[in-house]
């Protein structure tokens, strides 16, 4: 019985902390979901932009070539498949999140620790995205 009681106490403490936290208040606020619904078109624009930048049109035009869909990354700098487009789009999104974290680090003037955290994460995400991009370039032979 002691283990069950401890688990219940731990879950009660955790749930009370979540409801008191900023994230819990945002999720319990009914306007947070309406904001997401109102900004849905902006998310669709971003998704379309990332897909076009990643080369969706090139991937669709090359989809009919023989043997192009056998590997996730085509070892040809002139051809691209849909899987490679999704992988490249993932790299662009990581780099964009890093740039946004750097932007937030410049705006965070109240807490120096938050600014440092955003700055470090921004640099790390951009470095990961660049390493990822160079790795893809090396695989394609460009």
Contact present, 80 and 58 (Cβ < 8 Å): yes
What are the tokens at 19?
């409801």
Q: Could you tell me what percent of the chain has a pLDDT over 70?
A: 79
Contact present, 83 and 72 (Cβ < 8 Å): yes
Maximum alpha-carbon separation in the chain:
66
This prediction's pTM: 0.66
Q: What is the pLDDT of residues 53-66, one digit of tens each?
A: 888 888 888 877 77
Q: pLDDT value at position 70?
A: 78
Question: Over the chain, what is the mean pLDDT?
Answer: 81
Residue 81 carries which DSSP code?
-
**Is residue 123 pLDDT above 60, yes or no?**
yes
């Amino acid at each position: 019985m002691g283990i069950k009681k401890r688990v219940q106490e731990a879950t009660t403490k955790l749930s009370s902390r979540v409801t008191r936290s900023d994230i819990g208040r945002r999720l319990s606020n009914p306007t947070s979901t309406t904001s997401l619904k109102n900004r849905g078109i902006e998310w669709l624009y971003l998704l379309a932009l990332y897909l076009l930048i990643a080369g969706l049109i090139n991937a669709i035009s090359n989809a009919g070539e023989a043997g192009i869909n056998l590997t996730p990354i085509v070892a040809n700098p002139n051809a691209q498949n849909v899987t490679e487009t999704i992988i490249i789009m993932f790299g662009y999104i990581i780099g964009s999140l890093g740039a946004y974290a750097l932007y937030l680090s410049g705006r965070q003037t109240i807490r120096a620790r938050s600014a440092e955290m955003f700055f470090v994460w921004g640099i790390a995400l951009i470095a990961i995205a660049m390493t990822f991009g160079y790795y893809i370039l090396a695989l394609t032979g460009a």
